[in-house]
Structure 1
Amino acid sequence: MVVFACTGCGTVITTRVARVALPDHSGQKYGHDLLPSLLEPGTYVVDPGDDRPREPRKPEPEEHGIRLQTYCTTGPPNRIGIAPGDVRGTVFIPERLGGYCCGWDGQYGPNLACAGCTRPVATRVDDCGFWQVVWLEPDSVRPVAMDGPVQQVMDWVELPSTSPIDSRGFWSPVWEAAVAVALAHLLVISGGRRVSVPERPVAEAFRRAIDSLLPPGPPERHLTLAGPGLSATITDIALAPRHPQTGEVWPCDAGTVVPLAADVWTYMAYNDDRRLMPAAYGMPAVVRRDDPPPLLPHTLFRPDGRVFLSTLERLAAVRQPWLRRIYDSLRDRPYIDPFS
């Protein structure tokens, strides 16, 4: 466990937190509603970012020793994300609290300052359409080790599960982001050749995108679910869970592995949302059941196009001509088929 302190004066600005893996939806913007916290209380992540240049929206005067900047959704490299409720010892910077309508989106750079020395140390994001999070500036904070219980790493058989459908009957944005990330890796591994996928939820999530992005014809590569509790023989590509705390991918003997967020993988592997038909001479009609049928989505599943593109941008394979053509065709239209 660690706390983070201001590098300027040493003021502690977080509660005790333990590191977990960066969620696939960390850079996602979704809809116009207020979204929940990106992270569980008591946890933090490190976003490695990338080396693409970031330009300020317009020249700004320097304040408190740093220049105001507008970062892309991934932000500066190695920023540290924590849950908003885990912040301590900070004050808002009023002139940097820009947002769309319901909160702050961080477009003007750090909007939280250390209460001890007024040094800008973090950016709070909580506007509509953004997962709520506080991003600590990597050059303005430092970790301080704390005594306490060691973080317990869950066993593979304890992996969480997230339903693909939310309470309103819409596809989960967590699923849309996780499948988009896995799809980008799957395309790279495919080498541009057709890929077959298992039936039911895997096919529902991946097949339409594969049909749209890869050439038609008989499949030359084969995707198989692999992970804890499954005994299927893997002949080609494994779709395996990525541990939510450590970020490690399930170890298997497959030649190539596509990692998938653990909570999405678990649901794909073990849940069956098919509706059951009444059997003859079954439960009497007068008996009422109190368990509702599974929710059905209003539309076909679509991966998040912007998350898909941002993932491809970070993969060296995007320089290959066939993959670059896919990227260029979607770069300015991330909502066309199969992402719409």
Structure 2
Amino acid sequence: MSRVELPDHADQTYGHDLLPALLEPGTYAVRPEPSGPPRRPWDEVGAHEAEARGVYLPVSRLPYGPRGTVAIAPGDVRGTVLIPERCDGCCCGLDERNGPNLACEQCGLAVATRVDDCGRWQAVWLDPRAVRPAGVEGPARTPAGWDELRETCPDPPPVEQPGWWSPRWEASVAVALARLLAVSGGRRIVVPDGPVAGAFRKALDTLLPPGPSARNLVLAGPGLSVTTADIALVPRHPQTGRSWQCDAGSVVPLAAGVWVSMAFHDDRRLAPAAAGMPDAVRRDDPPPPLPCRPFLPDLDVFLRTLARLPAAREPWLRAVHDRVRDRRHTLPCF
């Protein structure tokens, strides 16, 4: 098993269909923060204890499960059985509401939680209190270099059939949007044209005040020309989770696959060639689908990310959080 970064959409709830696996086979990711039951309401926890657990704005309930749960693809699990009395879910599958629902086949100890309900990315979360890593013979996998990112990192298409925006894009942009607000200092951000503008401009213009005092945003990373800017949107390594470093005043990481798609996109549309093209040379693949609506970042992922940034304690950013939370159905950027 090779370690990768925890995807931005790990805790995303999307639609009412069955979603694919969170991770590729043969990989695993670690969640550093507490997760799972028991959960305690905000009024019972209080702001001081919540901040000690990395939550800086009020949320409905805080998880008090273990830190360091390990996500793997469901197909990579061996030697476990379901615990029938813990196999509850919301609709079409299992979730984590009752705690671990998988037990060791030999000893019966609860060891993991399988999540595969509709609207949830399918994964098995190993309980760090019941499992341990074990080394195997063979060479360790070396993380890919930054120069290999464009060739080795899968970039999810921004638009899926039949024209819906990719939920992975919606989650990753929501995470980066929260971090952009945090480094903006409450000043307007000037967004460059192109895919970055399509993903971020409307939200930033809606949530930040207008005015002459502004900070410039650029897309920076391997394969792009070096440009001085106030804020750089850079790739986050898909294996190590580290951000590309540059000389910008502030650096905001973006999921590598989304960054690659933005940095090296080709928005040219296919057009028919000369009339009478032989059928044998016509392409069988249809052109990429066009989106059926403007891009909108994932609101719940945005609020969850913002609540876990220390900068959210600043009054102006707390006001942005509360505005989005209370007017979620009327803001044009959500």
TM range (shorter): 0.7 to 0.9
Which residue, 98, 111, 114 being the options, matches 1:121? Answer: 111
Range that drifts further, 315-324 or 73-82: 73-82
Which residue, 136, 139, 145 being the options, matches 2:135? Answer: 145
| SS of structure 2 residue aligned to 1:254 | coil
Instruction: Please state how far the C-alpha of 1:119 moved relative to its aligned partner.
Output: 1.0
Instruction: Please state how far the C-alpha of 1:236 moved relative to its aligned partner.
Output: 1.3
CA distance change for structure 1 residues 335 and 140 in 2, over 3 Å: closer, same or farther?
A: farther
Partner of 1:19: 3
Structure 2 matches for 1:168-317, cutoff 5 A? 168-218=162-212, 220-275=214-269, 283-287=273-277, 289-290=282-283, 292-317=286-311
Q: After the TM superposition, list the runs of 4 or more consecutive aligned residues in structure 1 that deviate by more than 6 angstroms.
A: 71-74
Which residue, 19, 23, 29 being the options, matches 1:39? Answer: 23
- Assess if the C-alpha contact under 8 Å between 2:21 and 2:122 holds in 1: yes
Matched-pair identity in %: 60
TM score, norm. by length of structure 2? 0.86
Instruction: Please state how far the C-alpha of 1:331 moved relative to its aligned partner.
Output: 3.0
Residues 90-114 of structure 1, C-alpha deviations (whole Å, 9 max, x = no match): 1100011111222111211110011
Structure 2 distance, partners of 1:171, 1:37, is: 18
Matched, 1:83 2:73: yes
Structure 1 distance, partners of 2:40, 2:177, is: 32
- Assess if the C-alpha contact under 8 Å between 2:72 and 2:125 holds in 1: yes
Partner of 1:30: 14
Structure 2 distance, partners of 1:330, 1:50, is: 25
Instruction: Please state how far the C-alpha of 1:335 moved relative to its aligned partner.
Output: 4.8
| SS of structure 1 residue aligned to 2:192 | coil
Instruction: Please state how far the C-alpha of 1:225 moved relative to its aligned partner.
Output: 0.6
1:135 alignment partner AA: W
| SS of structure 2 residue aligned to 1:123 | strand
Which residue, 109, 113, 118 being the options, matches 2:99? Answer: 109
Instruction: Please state how far the C-alpha of 1:233 moved relative to its aligned partner.
Output: 1.1
- Assess if the C-alpha contact under 8 Å between 1:221 and 1:237 holds in 2: yes
Structure 2 distance, partners of 1:74, 1:182, is: 26
- Assess if the C-alpha contact under 8 Å between 2:12 and 2:120 holds in 1: yes
Residues 64-93 of structure 1, C-alpha deviations (whole Å, 9 max, x = no match): xxxxxxx97896421111110111111100
CA distance change for structure 1 residues 74 and 34 in 2, over 3 Å: closer, same or farther?
A: farther
Instruction: Please state how far the C-alpha of 1:219 moved relative to its aligned partner.
Output: 5.6
Gaps of 5+ in 1: 1-16, 58-70
- Assess if the C-alpha contact under 8 Å between 1:273 and 1:294 holds in 2: no
Two-structure CA RMSD over aligned residues (Å): 2.3
Range that drifts further, 305-314 or 213-222: 213-222
2:306 alignment partner AA: L
Instruction: Please state how far the C-alpha of 1:146 moved relative to its aligned partner.
Output: 1.6
Structure 2 distance, partners of 1:51, 1:322, is: 29
Range that drifts further, 86-95 or 327-336: 327-336
Structure 2 distance, partners of 1:42, 1:133, is: 13
Structure 2 distance, partners of 1:328, 1:92, is: 41
Name the structure with the higher helix share.
Answer: 2
CA distance change for structure 1 residues 89 and 51 in 2, over 3 Å: closer, same or farther?
A: closer
Corresponding pairs, count: 307
- Assess if the C-alpha contact under 8 Å between 2:70 and 2:126 holds in 1: yes
